């Protein structure tokens, strides 16, 4: 697990966007796993800029999003499909047929989840998965206590997650209590994972996820088991990391190595 610490949210977002753009330049038909929420907004904004100003091409990629609220139509302003259209899909040249998304109005949810898993496999697996981390340490909607081998499925949201997401709705009673989500096991099969966290409110859980034990109580901690994870955080989110100086030193040494080799 590589930890990259940047001073500001915008700086960390630029690092993540460049990582994704480098992936697309190496492999134009990459399969991207995408996340929603406030944290990746600046990443998507930078990817849109790279598309418009530098010609970053999205025409051959395929995408799979992590999750979606059960019961919200794609046109609902608080659905995650609406979020992705607003922040990325409507502003780049990705064919709509290349977008895969959990369907919040699925009637046969179990059958849909099986199809979603099969689609990921059919497309060759996810090349790079973008993740955020919840305040209780969840990734996607894999709430505390989720199986670390779980697959795409219907998940009941915790009271903490409902409270955290209430700021996006007019009333907390409007926040859905269920979501379709990729499982931890599904996420861990991605070839590369990029994790984002920003702000003091994430500092404690970032430290637990990176430096604490691997536990289903903090599903983000399962990422310690993955062979290729990059965690990108701002200074506030990194302030509780016991080995922050070491992470900065490692990144500095790698940068020097790349400059020498280049």
Q: Which is catalytic among the residues 11, 57, 114, 136?
A: 136
Q: 3-class secondary structure for 177-200?
A: CEEEECCHHHHHCCCEEEEEECCH
Beta bridge partners of 63: 32, 99
Judge whether 143 counts as a catalytic residue.
yes
Q: Do 61 and 30 meet the contact criterion of CB atoms below 8 Å apart?
A: yes
Judge whether 46 counts as a catalytic residue.
no
Pairing mode, if any, of strands 153-156 and 99-100? unpaired
Sheet holding 153-156, edge to edge: 67-69, 178-181, 153-156
For 32, half-sphere exposure in the C-beta direction (CA atoms, 13 angstrom radius) is 29
Chain mean position to CA 168:
18
Q: Which is catalytic among the residues 51, 117, 138, 236?
A: 138
> What span, in angstroms and rounded, lies between the C-alpha atoms of 55 and 178?
39
Judge whether 171 counts as a catalytic residue.
no
Q: Which is catalytic among the residues 46, 67, 68, 164?
A: 67
Can you read off the two tokens belonging to residue 173?
A: 């009673």
Q: Do 180 and 103 meet the contact criterion of CB atoms below 8 Å apart?
A: yes
- Using DSSP, state whether 18 is helix, strand or coil: helix
> What span, in angstroms and rounded, lies between the C-alpha atoms of 226 and 189?
8
Q: Which is catalytic among the residues 46, 68, 117, 143?
A: 143
Q: Do 13 and 46 meet the contact criterion of CB atoms below 8 Å apart?
A: yes
Judge whether 226 counts as a catalytic residue.
no
For 236, half-sphere exposure in the C-beta direction (CA atoms, 13 angstrom radius) is 11
The set of catalytic residues is: 67, 136, 138, 143
């Amino acid at each position: 697990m590589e930890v990259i610490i940047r001073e500001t949210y915008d700086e960390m977002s630029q690092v993540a966007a460049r990582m994704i753009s480098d992936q697309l330049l190496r492999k134009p038909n990459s399969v991207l796993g995408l996340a929603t929420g406030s944290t990746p907004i600046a990443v998507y904004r930078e990817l849109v800029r790279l598309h418009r100003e530098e010609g970053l091409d999205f025409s051959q990629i395929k995408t799979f999003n992590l999750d979606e609220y059960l019961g919200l139509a794609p046109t609902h302003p608080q659905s995650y499909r609406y979020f992705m259209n607003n922040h990325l899909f409507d502003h780049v040249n990705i064919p709509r047929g290349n977008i895969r998304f959990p369907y919040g109005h699925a009637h046969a949810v179990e059958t849909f989840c099986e199809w979603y898993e099969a689609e990921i496999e059919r497309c060759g697996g996810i090349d790079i998965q973008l993740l955020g981390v919840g305040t209780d340490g969840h990734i996607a909607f894999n709430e505390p206590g989720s199986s670390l081998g779980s697959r795409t499925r219907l998940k009941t949201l915790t009271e903490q997650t409902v409270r955290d997401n209430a700021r996006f709705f007019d009333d907390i009673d409007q926040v859905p209590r269920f979501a379709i989500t990729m499982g931890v096991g599904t996420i861990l099969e991605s070839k590369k994972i990029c994790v984002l966290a920003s702000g003091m409110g994430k500092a404690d859980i970032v430290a637990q996820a990176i430096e604490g034990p691997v536990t289903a109580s903090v599903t983000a901690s399962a990422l310690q088991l993955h062979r290729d994870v990059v965690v990108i955080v701002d200074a506030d989110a990194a302030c509780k990391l016991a080995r922050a100086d070491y992470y900065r030193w490692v990144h500095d040494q790698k940068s020097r190595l790349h400059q020498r080799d280049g």
